[in-house]
Homo-oligomer: A and B are copies of this chain.
Amino acid sequence: MFSKEEVMKWLKRGGLALGVTCLVFLVTHRVALAADPTGAGSTEQAANYIWILICAFLVMFMQAGFGMLEGGFCRAKNVTNLMTKNLMDFAIGSLAFFLVGYAIMMGGDWHGLWGTQGWFMLGDYYDVDKYLNMFWMLVFCATAATIVAGAVAERMKFKAYLVYSVVVSVIIFPIFGHWVWGGGWISQLPFGLGGLDFAGSGVVHAVGGFVGLAGAMVLGPRFGKYAKDGKPQAIPGHSIALATLGVFILWFGWFGFNPGSTCDPHHLRISVIAVNTNLAAAAAALAAMLVAKWKTKKWDTGMALNGAVAGLVAITCACAWVEGWAAIVIGLIAGPLMYAGVKFLESKGVDDPVGAVSVHGICGLWGLLSLGFFADGTYGNYSTEAPFVTGLFYGGGGGQLLAQFITAVVVFAWAFGIGYLMFKIMDKTFGIRVSPEEELQGLDIPEHGTPAYPDFLTTRR
């Protein structure tokens, strides 16, 4: 249809025109005083703001955790590339979500599909409450975005990753987020209390995981991942120290992710949420390590690390609605499930260098479903008042489980579908995989001109 040059030329012209329009608009606009950009608040409000902001800071810090975990699991020759991708998806996501994504996700509701107000956070959206809510949603958007970096690591062009960062921040995350958290159609399902996802097992993690699956599939496996006979080969990461640091940072940041999602510290339930978050991570790390020990006779560190994250992902949906023992069970299932997922995908020819699809995608689905079983009927839908969320094991009937099942199916279809389409279009237009020479050399020098560790002698695999 169109040549690559033509497409790029029109994209550039369109971008320029859009940029100039925005600039003119921004400079000529006036601050809306209908909203409250100044913000003199009560102590009750101050407590809410403290809670939400500090928790948001913790979630933002998870960017460092993902960078270290994914970087640690990569080879030294691709570390600069991985780190730069992690930095830039946050930078691009921060701008794109502020300008456009938030409006689509939370700017009112149009037929249950998306929002239509709050573009550029201007007018009534220049308001302390709106800015606060935007910031909260932004750090979740950025988490979804950065998950993909691991699945497509060591072979995707930097440019393609920049484009992807825009698409996930303005379309993939915001629209699904609207369906569940923005008053969209999933939240209105007539089963149970509608599709629920407390802090984002689905909205954040399954979205990231299955976009990553799409990316890994469109890219194909790395050189050397499969032997001539098709047997998968282990490609160990370059630094267990960084990977461990990454997991601890993620675990730490998750205490903002989950308890912070009450968006209100007057819900003292936050203590239960913190405990559940911790228990699931612990149980899953232990279970994943024990399964690996049983299978391989080694205390597999990589599986223990990914196990912890799998537990955190799994409990994210139900953390506010279950008891501590259920959090342990959810984690005990998540760890082996992650292990099985990694082996299954590997056997099917999907090369996911850090296990992101299994950790975030598969365990994200398990998280969505788990709520339908274990919700104990003591806490509401982001509320300390009835109706409370109740699952199958507590006599709540199967309605909630059905709503959760639908949510799980939809998140897979949406994230994988749009993700696949996006990567395919890019691949057809300008190609998303680096050249074989670049891949063998490592992406750091051809793409960035900087090896990550110039002072050290490496094995140069």
Contact = CB atoms under 8 A, between A and B. Distances in A.
Contact of A46 (B135, B266, B378, B444): B266
Interface in A221-264: 236-242, 244-245, 247-249, 251-252, 255-256, 259
Contacts of A239: 241, 452-453
A68 interface: yes
A79 interface: yes
A27 B452 CA distance: 51
B47 A46 contact: yes
Contacts of A279: 94-95, 98
Contacts of A83: 240-241, 244, 301
The size bracket of the interface on A is 35 or more
Interface string A277-321: 011011101100100000010111110110010000000000000
B98 A378 contact: no
B449 A269 contact: no
A76 B455 contact: yes
Contact of A41 (B36, B120, B267, B274): B267
Contacts of A76: 455-456
Interface stretch (A50-58, A204-212, A401-409, A414-422): A50-58
A272 B128 contact: yes
A447 interface: yes
A36 B384 CA distance: 11
A138 interface: yes
B323 A278 contact: no
A197 interface: no
Contact of A275 (B26, B131, B286, B323): B131
Contacts of A67: 244-245, 248
Interface in A410-461: 444, 447-459, 461
A39 interface: yes
A95 B279 CA distance: 6
A279 to B, nearest CB: 6
A147 interface: no
Contact of A53 (B39, B61, B271): B271
Interface string A79-90: 110011011101
A67 to B, nearest CB: 6
Contacts of A50: 47, 50-51, 54, 265
A55 to B, nearest CB: 9
A249 B252 CA distance: 12
A396 B418 CA distance: 48
Contacts of A191: none
A240 B452 contact: yes
A163 to B, nearest CB: 13
A296 B449 contact: yes
Contacts of A394: 31
Contact of A42 (B38, B94, B266): B266
A110 to B, nearest CB: 24
Contacts of A219: none
Contacts of A122: 325
A60 interface: yes
A91 interface: yes
Pairs A-B, 5 closest by C-beta atoms: A39-B268, A64-B248, A132-B271, A94-B282, A298-B449
